[in-house]
Amino acid sequence: MYFSFTDEQEEFRSVLRRFLTEKSSPIEVRRLMETDEGYDKVVWQQLSKELGLTALAIPEEFGGSGFGVTELAIANEEMGRALLCAPYFSSAVLATTAILRAATKEQKTRWLPGLASGDSIATFAYAEQGGNWSDAEVATTAEPAADGYKVTGTKCFVTDGGVANQIIVVARKPGTVDSDGLMLLAVDAGAQGVACSQMPAMDPTRKLSTITFDAAQGELLGTDDAGAALAETLQVAAVCLAHEMAGGAERLLESAVDYAKLRFQFGRPIGSFQSLKHKLADMLMDVELTKSGAYYAAAAVDEGDPEAPVTAALIKAFASDVYMQTAVHTVQIHGGIGFTWENDTHLWFKRAKSSEVFLGTAASHREQMMRAMQV
Amino acid sequence: MQHTEEEVRSALRQWLEQNWDPDSSLIEWRNKLVDSGWGVADWPSEWFGKDLPLALMPIVNEEFQRAHAIGVANKGAGRLAAMTLLEHGTPDQKSQFLRRILTGEDVWCQLFSEPGSGSDLAGANTRAVLQGDHWLVNGQKVWTTSAHHADYGFLLARTDMDIPKHQGLSFFLIDMRQPGVEVKPLRQMNGHASFNEVFLTDAIIPKEYLVLSEGDGWKIATTTLMYERRNADSTLRGKKAHGGEQRIYQEEAEEIRVANEPYTWYPQRAGRVDLVVQRAQETGRNTDPVVRQEIAKLICLNRCVEWTARRARTAQEQGRPPGPEGSLGKLASSVVARAANRVHTMIAGGDAMLTGEDSPMQGVIAEVLVSTPAISIAGGTDEIQKNIISERVLGMPKEPRTDVDVPFRDVKKNSF
């Protein structure tokens, strides 16, 4: 069960691959990455309304289709392959998962149908200036006020902050530290005291914002003790990001393989030289190991495996190392052309670089894994 | 013919109830098994089997386990010989050798590698020359497991120097117990001597022991190697005795003990990742953030390798076409072993300079440190594995070769 997909899941993947091949070609990626919004509204409509991708992991009672993390992860893997420019990870993975894990039933009823249909776009604000994605780093506070909470602080590296209409903010009770006193709050992007500015993202396919909250009105998700829900949200996010990275790495490998067969030097295809053959075999191994780990981790979360926290941290760390290494090798195999703007490799290279640290570095995830294993 | 799972299960269960006798001798029992067809049920019915599809074999194994019944000796080099003979042997060869392989009365060894041809197996230099009704063999083989107690070997030898290398090889069965065969243990860098060198000096092979025809050696060896790869994990290595008191269990335990002797260091060769966390905690190195990172990297890698193996197995069990994940296990285990060696060294610190009973874990860690280099060489070097993966899985073009279209006599060879 952990190691194979059902025929339905395979079919889902191939439908998605066809869709993304058409809608997210490198030409489209290049067009969208130059825009401020960073996504195509028509494609977003199609992927949410026609393919139902934004509804995948949302239960049917809240307007979703009731699938698990496994299906959500397949979507991310395919989007990673195609380098889809869309607020999918922010909205359908991060914010949706946070709501699913922390919100009350009434809140879910109010918010999830909009997210499921794609009419509403949400994002998730956790990291601050240090860019560590750690509980200890959270300085933003939430204080009870007349009708809800007042949120004050500055969030950084918020993905798709510029297009989200709802922000799920991680804040803390004043005076608490580390994982104590953490709360998840929903803030309207248009609320008074909320100011969003774009950060200069090196990966133009992943838009980043700084969002400041100056006593902005927030609505508490569930209870005021959200530490566990936050941890679960981050696990799902780590697993989905690992899939996105696996998909991107596989795409890079394929482009390197194709190029090594086409490019002739010294009278023979460069792929006939052992120095390249061996590098490509190493790349294949890395990519396949990552896929196995990612698939296992998604199933572990879906099945409530008590080791899921270990597995999620493990695969985020492993996948980010592999994605980056694969990108480095792919540029190298392309030689000079691989370092040009014209060649598409840099698009994935930059995504690999930004994924390396997004949600926390590999080193921090390895440490997280060791603690979860009680070493 | 029985075909459904339940039919097979009940037929075998009934047969075992009537015939399984732990007080009989191992050979007596195995002869009975061979006669019944249940010993190798997936083999053809004219050769001791029942023509059972592979998919039903798990049922057979379950029933044997359920009855605590012992199976045939279908492991190691004997199994490779048997599978090769089943496919390519004459009826005479099959009837002479198959039964005694299955009963375990004959021990076999594989005589392929030579000092001068390791990765380039088709470059074998051992010569076989026909003299009347027998072949006369001269040359040297190496890395031969079990040669010191083998009754027979299967041998790749050159029968023609004047045609291209792959075409001039032939495949023989050879009686190991003769004056022309000298077996010497080969001591490894970790101190063990698990393999042998085999010196062939005017060794004699009757004409009837040639498999197929002269020049078919490479084709047949390819079959053997395919079975070797497919059954890489089905040697007796790691097999546990049933532990019963009756005569047959005692005999089986002795057979397993002898068969496992060369492999006591194999777990260490693979790196002993299982010991890393325990060692770090015992030595207190788990508090060093640098060591923690290295341990964690190893665990990440090792788990992903295990999951990949399970993914490949699942695909195979479900009859799905094998994906690339199935070709990577050997290479991946080398990477894991090397990484584990580094981490064990970090944890051991100065103790990594020690060996023997008084060194960490009574020498187990020292054995890891000097054994892992074997895993990236034995059974096909990492470099050859990468060529294979690159060419067969990724479709990379082959390198131009200088040794295939010329007479073997003219191919450049080792000068030492």
Q: Which residues pair with B155 in a beta bridge?
A: B111, B172
**Residue range A149-175: average pLDDT?**
98
Q: Taking 60 as the threshold, does the pLDDT of residue B1 lie above it?
A: no
Scanning B258-317 for CB atoms below 8 A from A yields 277, 280-281, 286, 289, 292-293, 295-297, 299-301, 303-305, 307-308, 310-311, 313-315
Assigned architecture for domain A123-224 = Beta Barrel (2.40)
- pLDDT tens per residue, range A90-128: 999 999 999 999 999 999 999 999 999 999 999 999 999
CB B256 within 8 A of CB B236: yes
Helix or strand or coil: residue B49? coil
Q: Which of B280, B303, B391 sits opposite A293 (nearest CB)?
A: B303
B320 DSSP 8-state letter: P
The helix (run of H) or strand (run of E) holding residue B290 is: helix B289-317
Residues of A with Cβ-Cβ distance to B393 under 8 angstroms: 281, 284
So where are chain A's domains?
A: 7-120, 123-224, 228-372
Q: Respond yes or no on whether ipTM tops 0.85.
A: yes
For residue B354, give both structure tokens.
């020690």
The answer for residues whose C-beta is within 8 angstroms of residue B74's C-beta and 6 or more apart is B39, B40, B82, B101, B102
- Is residue B224 within 8 A of residue B109, CB to CB? The reply is no
Per CB-CB distance under 8 Å, the chain A contacts of B288 are none
Model pLDDT, residue B235? 47
Dihedrals phi, psi of B390, to nearest 5 degrees: -65, -40
Q: Is the pLDDT of residue B236 over 70?
A: no
Q: Do A292 and B387 touch (CB under 8 A)?
A: no
Which of A4, A277, A373 minimises the CB distance to B386?
A277
Domains and CATH numbers, chain B: 5-75+236-260 (no CATH), 78-230 (2.40.110.10), 271-379 (no CATH)
CB contact under 8 Å between A284 and B328, yes or no, is yes
In the CATH scheme, what is the code of domain A7-120? 1.10.540.10
pLDDT (tens digit, 9 = 90+) per residue, B251-304? Answer: 999 988 888 888 899 999 999 999 999 999 999 999 999 999 999 999 999 999
In the chain, the amino acid numbered A322 is: V
Dmax (CA) for chain B in angstroms is 74
Quickly tell me which residue has 């299906």 as its tokens: A71
DSSP A198: E
- The 10s digit of each residue's pLDDT in B355-379 is 999 999 999 999 999 999 999 998 8
Q: Are B397 and A269 inside 8 Å of each other by CB?
A: yes
**Residue A324 in tokens:** 């980056």
The share of chain A scoring above pLDDT 70, in percent, equals: 99
Tokens of A275: 């120095």
By CB atoms closer than 10 A (0-12, 13-18, 19+), residue B366 is: buried
Query: For every residue of B2-38, which 3-state class applies, written as one string?
Result: CCCHHHHHHHHHHHHHHHCCCCCCHHHHHHHHHHHCC
Q: What is the pLDDT of residues A295-304, one digit of tens each?
A: 999 999 999 9
- Indicate the CATH number for domain A228-372: 1.20.140.10
